[in-house]
Amino acid sequence: MEHHVENTGRVGAGVFNPRQLLTSLPDALRKLNPRHQLGNPVMFVVWVGSVLVTVFAVVDPSVFTVLIAVWLWFTVLFANLAEAVAEGRGKAQAETLRRTKKETMARRLTPDGSEERVPGAELRIGDLVVVEAGGVIPGDGDVVEGIATVDESAITGESAPVIRESGGDRCAVTGGTTVLSDRIVVKITTKPGESFVDRMIALVEGASRQKTPNEIALTILLSTLTIIFLLAVVALQPMVGYSGSTQSVIVLVALLVCLIPTTIGALLSAIGIAGMDRLVQRNVLATSGRAVEAAGDVSTLLLDKTGTITFGNRKATELIPVAGSTVDQLARAARLSSLADGTPEGRSIVELIEREHGLPAEATEDERLAEFVPFTAQTRMSGMDIGERLIRKGATSALRTWVRERGGDVPDEVERIVDEVSEQGGTPLVVAEYTGGKAVLRGVIRLSDVVKPGMRERFEELRSMGIRTVMITGDNPLTARAIAADAGVDDYLAEAKPEDKMALIQKEQEGGRLVAMTGDGTNDAPALAASDVGVAMNTGTSAAKEAGNMVDLDSNPTKLIEIVEIGKQLLITRGALTTFSVANDLAKYFAILPAMFVAIYPQLGGLNVMGLATPQSAILSAVIFNALVIVALIPLALRGVRYRPSSASALLRRNLLIYGLGGIVTPFAGIWLIDLLVRLIPGIG
């Protein structure tokens, strides 16, 4: 893994700061424009009501009318403020991202092989540009020639340089990053203004954010409720007139505003923007809000084994001597055979022997004079020659031949141990030694593709959420089964080819399930495009990044699990605040309805359970509370409701208990406290 440390604070937007309310106030005032309000039907009704009451306050002013008008405008303003704060956080991130963009002169290759210097903004798809050490890559593209170390800290926040090379799955480079060494030729794959940084800026600023299907459905529901309550309030006036009385337009507007779901209507946009914001904090670029929402509904997770479930680099975990040799003899021979092996597996053997057998990890003076034998694909072994003493370590078949050529025997138990290690998901390496007489096979080193710590617990959490996990690997079925059992995944796909991945995705989707997967290679592109949530690694090919609907700038495959959690947190937050808003309206009925009709029906005085001073103070207190609760819930909408893995029924019970019951109790306490202050105003109490 190139990036093992997640940079969640790259833009410092994770924590809500009350100062953001003040800095976002000018934007909130600009959003009072009626054209903007039309986009939110619930708040547009409140805006129209505010205008109507303001007209009455000017024509026939009174303390009650003026205060109602003021607090209705505050209700609209606070709703705008929630959206402005969310967008403000995005703009802060966008400004940070803009600073990473550097306008550079590019060295473009011409058809005859010469170079010409052109501004980076003039590059087009397919252009070839040369970038050498110290140069800035002028645009997104793929390395088609050479290899270099690249500093991507401006984009990812990770200070460690990464390797980018032509061919393979680590050829993609991002515009604005710096080449630290060597020379590469980059083929431009995006138009000016459409790079990943440009798209990320547009995304976090909200310019390209579209409402998701669930958000649209909820908006339709809220609009329908608003129309129903509007008709109900309009019908009240004839009913009151039939009773020989009248109600002022001011009171009817106040009732309507308190009845319609203004709380969730005001916060809905902020919740969606904040969901995207949480992804950006984790260096994930989503091409649409639909992908984030789909992540919350995912029911099948496809995960690559290497680098996601396991560390990828196999590690030595056990030395198994065979008959005639001791563990100490095997350890000494294995150490000597690995001193020349610069692979991660070779280093892990030396580390294991140093840790468990006390032998030094560095070669001694005499050992440095010995002849090192490096590993090659032809010999499939490595080792050391010290005079007539030859030590080798490698594949079973290669060592079997090497021992027999030098007059040695291969004990039967070696085959048994090798088969056992393979069946348990490990890789066996055989160690042998020749001392001048004949070769002796010392034993077997077990290499294990180590499962990352905590993965079994993560998969248990996903299982409790109703998500099925499938490990995808190119290993043989025996090895795949052993690692799958060790990691705790629900299923596995061994010896997987691109068409196998596609078939698995289609099979899962036929059952109505949403599928998420990660990938970085061109061969992953079809599966990424077919999956509902396809997370491409930034280090991967352009084909993979174009096929997916998310790009992880840190190239950390395990982040897919966090993306699912962010999607679920978005849905849970929206559901929780909707529950609170609807329950909140119920409690406000007990403040306003008795106050409206107590003069006509004195019996309704018994419903004044809060003991509110006068009808006017009750109505004003409810309107004030209705406005203030929006501001109080802005931090929760931006931060999100804390997510705990659990079943849908458990989440529903939690929502009803905390946000349903809380939505009923909070207004009673809040309106009662506000009434204690409002009754002190002359002309109200």
Is 90 exceeded by the pLDDT of residue 447? no
Rounded Cα distance between 343 and 348, Å, is 9
Catalytic residue among 198, 304, 554, 585: 304
Average pLDDT over residues 467-496: 84
pLDDT of residue 55: 95
pLDDT tens for 86-95 read 777 666 666 6
Map tokens 């949530």 to a residue.
Answer: 533
Average pLDDT over residues 476-492: 84
pLDDT of residue 623: 92
pLDDT tens for 206-261 read 544 556 677 788 889 889 988 998 898 888 778 777 766 677 889 889 889 988 99
Annotated binding site for Mg(2+): 520, 524
pLDDT tens for 47-94 read 999 999 999 999 988 999 999 999 999 999 999 988 888 777 666 666
More confident residue, 437 or 404: 404
Level-2 CATH architecture, domain 104-195: Distorted Sandwich (2.70)
More confident residue, 100 or 523: 523
- What is the bridge-based pairing of β-strands 491-493 and 468-472? parallel
Map tokens 């200070």 to a residue.
Answer: 159
pLDDT of residue 57: 92
Average pLDDT over residues 504-513: 85
- Angle of CA points 413, 415, 418, to nearest 5°: 110
pLDDT of residue 154: 61
pLDDT tens for 580-615 read 998 888 778 777 777 777 767 777 677 777 777 788
pLDDT of residue 624: 94
Q: Can you tell me whether residue 449 is helix, strand or coil? A: coil
What's the mean pLDDT when you consider all of the chain? 82
Pinpoint the alpha helices (H) of 260-389: 262-281, 289-296, 327-338, 344-357, 365-368
Domain ranges of the chain: 18-89+204-279+565-679, 104-195, 298-309+452-553, 313-450
Map tokens 């030395």 to a residue.
Answer: 319
**Which helix (H) or strand (E) segment is 300 a member of?**
strand 300-304
- Structure tokens belonging to residue 321: 């001597």
Average pLDDT over residues 301-318: 78
pLDDT of residue 313: 66
Q: Could you say which of 3.30.70.1170, 2.40.50.140, 3.40.50.300, 3.40.1110.10 is the CATH number of the domain covering 313-450?
A: 3.40.1110.10
Rounded Cα distance between 279 and 273, Å, is 10
Amino acid symbol at 454: G
Q: Are 173 and 142 in contact (CB under 8 A)?
A: yes
Average pLDDT over residues 255-273: 87
DSSP sequence for 177-202: -EE-SSEEEEEE-S-TT-SHHHHHHH
More confident residue, 297 or 243: 297
Q: What is the pTM of this model?
A: 0.66
Q: Are 134 and 178 in contact (CB under 8 A)?
A: yes
pLDDT-based confidence at residue 461 (cuts at 50, 70, 90)? confident
Q: Are 445 and 429 in contact (CB under 8 A)?
A: yes
- Chain centre distance of CA 527: 19
Is 90 exceeded by the pLDDT of residue 118? no
Annotated binding site for ATP: 341, 345, 375-382, 393
SS3 track for 576-615: HHHHHHHHHHHHHHHHHHHHHHCCCCHHHHHHCCCCCCCH
pLDDT of residue 92: 65
Residue 304 bears catalytic tag: yes
pLDDT tens for 513-540 read 889 888 777 777 888 888 888 888 877 7
Map tokens 């270099």 to a residue.
Answer: 148
pLDDT tens for 626-663 read 999 999 998 888 888 887 777 777 878 888 888 988 88
pLDDT of residue 209: 52
Level-2 CATH architecture, domain 298-309+452-553: 3-Layer(aba) Sandwich (3.40)
Average pLDDT over residues 429-450: 87
pLDDT of residue 568: 86
Annotated binding site: 341, 345, 375-382, 393, 520, 524
Rounded Cα distance between 456 and 453, Å, is 8
Is 90 exceeded by the pLDDT of residue 412? no
What share of the chain has pLDDT > 90, as a percent?
14
pLDDT of residue 97: 61
